[in-house]
Amino acid sequence: MTHGKLTRRHLLGLAAASAAATTVAAPAAAQPADGHAVTAWLDHRADPIGSIDPASSLDDLDALGHIARRAEVVGLGEWSHGSREQCLVKHKMVRYLVERMGFRTLAFEMDFAQGAAIDRFVLTGEGDARELATDLSSQLWETQEILDVIEWMRERNEAHPGDEVRFLGADLLTLREASFTALTDYVGAAAPERLEELAGHLDPIRPTGDGHIWWYQEELDDAERAAFIAHAHAALDLVEGIPGDGLEREYADRHARTVVGWHEYYAILGAAPRPGRERFIADTLEWWQRLVGGRTAYWAANIHTCAAPSIAYELPGESTEFTYAGGHLRERLGGGYVSIGTISHEGAVNSGWHPVAPVDVAPPGEGLLDAVLGEAREADYLIDLHARAPRPVREWREAPATTRMIHPVYGEGQSADDHAMTTGSLIETFDAIVHIRRTTPNTLLS
C-alpha cells in the first residue's frame, strides 16, 4: 500500500491536536425539566424497529419515508465507528432510501480516490470487493458489515442495469497514489506538453507508504509543509488551466482538490481548529449533486452528519468548536438536508488502531441525550424529532444537547461519557434519531 494509513500513535496525535484547539465552554446539556413527559412522548411517538437485519422487511422503517420525503441529502450518523448494530441498521436504512425513495448515491466518510475505486466495482464489477474493503482509511471500517454494503450495491446494480446506485468517497482522510495517477493520466491525454511541469509538482509530494501522515506532520517543519502545499496548489492550477470540460476533467479537478485538501488539513498542528476537512466534505457532496444529480445518503459519524451550526467536541479535558460538514450542508441546502443520528446505549465497540480491540461501553451518565433516549420502552426505534409534542418536550428539543461521540482513541479505563459532542439545540442537530439499546463490536475482516 502506498497511501499511509493512520497509526494508533498518529490517531492519538490527531486527537491531541484536535482537542488542543481553542478550548470552549460548551453549552450545558439539557436535563429534561419533565423527564416523564419526554419518556411518555418517546413511548407514544417512537417507531419500533423490529429487526436491524439489512435483509429483513423494510416496512418497520416507513417513518423514514416521512422524515426524508423532501431531502436531497440524508446524513446517516453513527455514535461509534466500531458498532456492528449501527452498521446493520444503517445498511437497512440505505436499502430503504434506495428501494423505497429513489436515492441513487451512497456517500461515505472515506477518501475520494478509494471511493472512486469502489464506485467502479459497484458499477462494473471491476476489482475485488474484499480487497477494496480491506484498504480503507481506518481499520474500524474494514469489516464484514461494510463489505456487505458494497456487495449488496453490486448485486443490486447487476439486477437493475441502467438504474445503478453509485458510491462516493466524500472525504480526504488518506492521500493515495491513485489520485496522482489520475492527474498524470488526465494531463497526459489533455496536454501532454505539460506533463513534465506536472511531475515537477507531484513527484516531491507523492505518498511514501505507511506512516506518511506521521512523516508529513512530525518530520517536516512549517516551511517544508508550506512548500508541499504550494506544489499541490500548483498542480490544481495546472489542471484548471487546461482548456476543456467533461467527466475526465471533473474527476481530475476533484483529485487535485483532494491532494490540496489533504496537505492543508494535516499541516495544521497544535492549538488550532481543523475545519477544512468539513468544508471539503460539503463541497464534494455539492460537486456530486451538480455532476451526477439524484438523491444521496451520506454515511459518517454523528459529528460530521449533524446539522448544527456549531459543535463542541470534547475529549478528556479538552474541547474544540466549529462547523462540521452537516452544518455546512444545512446552510447550503436548508430543508433539503436531513440529519439522522444513531445512538447506542451500552455494550461494546471496536476501538483503537494496531490492534483494533473490543472495548466495553457502560450505560450513559445522567444528563446525556443517550440516557434520556434509553428510558423509552422500546429498545430499538426511530424517533422523528419534529413530531407533534407537548410544551415540555418542545422545550427539551430546543435546548442544548450532549451525546456521546466515541473517538477511535477510546480505550479500556476511559469513560465513554468523556467523548462527547454538545450543540446549542437538539432540534437543530438531528431531525431524527435511531436508538439501538445494545451494541457489539463490528466484525473485522483482518
CATH of the domain at 362: 3.40.1660.10
User: Residue 14's pLDDT is what?
Assistant: 47
What is the CB neighbour count within 10 angstroms for residue 118? 27
In a shared domain, residues 238 and 206: yes
Rounded to two decimals, what is the model's pTM?
0.93
Classify residue 445: in a domain, yes or no: no
In a shared domain, residues 101 and 188: no
Q: Which cell numbers hold the place of 238?
A: 495546472
User: Residue 270's pLDDT is what?
Assistant: 64
Classify residue 9: in a domain, yes or no: no
In a shared domain, residues 404 and 340: yes
User: Residue 29's pLDDT is what?
Assistant: 52
Torsions phi, psi for 126 (to 5 deg): -70, 125
Q: Smallest Cα–Cα separation from 169: which of 126, 108, 122, 123?
A: 108
Q: Which of 242, 267, 292 is the last residue of a domain?
A: 267
Classify residue 4: in a domain, yes or no: no
Q: What is the CATH number of the domain that holds 240?
A: 1.20.1440.30
Question: Containing domain of residue 39, as a range?
Answer: 22-174+275-439
Inter-residue contact 182 to 251 (CB < 8 Å): yes
Beta strand 420-423 with 401-404 is antiparallel
In a shared domain, residues 184 and 155: no
In a shared domain, residues 353 and 376: yes
DSSP 235: H
Classify residue 48: in a domain, yes or no: yes
In a shared domain, residues 134 and 252: no
Quote the strand ranges of 53-146, DSSP E: 73-76, 105-111
Q: Which cell numbers hold the place of 317?
A: 479535558
In a shared domain, residues 254 and 291: no
Q: Which of 246, 267, 288 is the last residue of a domain?
A: 267
Q: Smallest Cα–Cα separation from 162: which of 129, 107, 123?
A: 123
User: Residue 16's pLDDT is what?
Assistant: 38
Answer whether the bond into residue 358 is a cis peptide, omega within 30°: no
The 3-state DSSP class for residue 233 equals helix
In a shared domain, residues 284 and 417: yes
User: Residue 249's pLDDT is what?
Assistant: 96
Classify residue 444: in a domain, yes or no: no
Inter-residue contact 55 to 379 (CB < 8 Å): no
Spatial separation of the C-alpha atoms in residues 23 and 323, rounded to whole Å = 15
Spatial separation of the C-alpha atoms in residues 325 and 313, rounded to whole Å = 14
Classify residue 16: in a domain, yes or no: no
Q: Which of 267, 291, 322 is the last residue of a domain?
A: 267
The one-letter amino acid code at 298 reads Y
In a shared domain, residues 279 and 408: yes
Inter-residue contact 383 to 340 (CB < 8 Å): no
Classify residue 89: in a domain, yes or no: yes
The one-letter amino acid code at 367 reads G
Classify residue 12: in a domain, yes or no: no
Inter-residue contact 298 to 78 (CB < 8 Å): no
Spatial separation of the C-alpha atoms in residues 324 and 339, rounded to whole Å = 12
In a shared domain, residues 158 and 242: no
User: Residue 354's pLDDT is what?
Assistant: 78
Q: How many domains does the chain have?
A: 2
201: CB partners within 8 A, 6+ apart: 231, 232, 234, 235, 238
For the chain (446 residues), the mean pLDDT of every run of 10, in chain order, is 44 40 44 80 98 98 98 98 98 98 97 97 98 93 97 98 98 96 98 98 94 93 97 98 93 98 90 84 97 97 97 85 97 98 98 91 96 97 98 96 94 94 97 98 94
In a shared domain, residues 140 and 284: yes
In a shared domain, residues 250 and 285: no
Q: Could you tell me how many residues make up the chain?
A: 446
